[in-house]
Amino acid sequence: MTQRLQRALAEIEKLPEETQDAVAERILADLADDRAWTERFEATSAAQWDRLAALAHQEIAAGETVQLEEVFPPKVSDD
């Protein structure tokens, strides 16, 4: 176990039991979600990736996409 994880667990232990359980459920759900995504990606064939890329190119060519900066504007520095 890493030191960072040990530190996080030590902080979680200070929380009320109900909150500890909520944190644990969230962590378990995230781990299950990560496993599911990994399985899906590993099961994706080259042909499927090619089809997805072709669809993306079609959407771009048809003007059906927006610039990433429109959805997630760059952070303005406070300097």
Q: How many Å apart are CA 15 and CA 40, to the nearest integer?
A: 35
CA atoms within 13 A on the CB side of 68: 2
List CB contacts of 20: < 8 A, sequence separation 6 or more: 12, 13
Question: What pTM does this model have?
Answer: 0.64
Q: Residue 53's domain spans which residues? A: 3-71
The answer to whether residue 22 sits within a structural domain is yes
Note whether residue 79 is domain-resident.
no
Answer yes or no: is 52 within a domain. Answer: yes
How confident is the prediction along the chain (79 residues), in pLDDT tens digits per residue?
A: 999 999 999 999 999 999 999 999 999 999 999 999 999 999 999 999 999 999 999 999 999 999 899 999 988 876 6
| Residue 27: inside a domain | yes
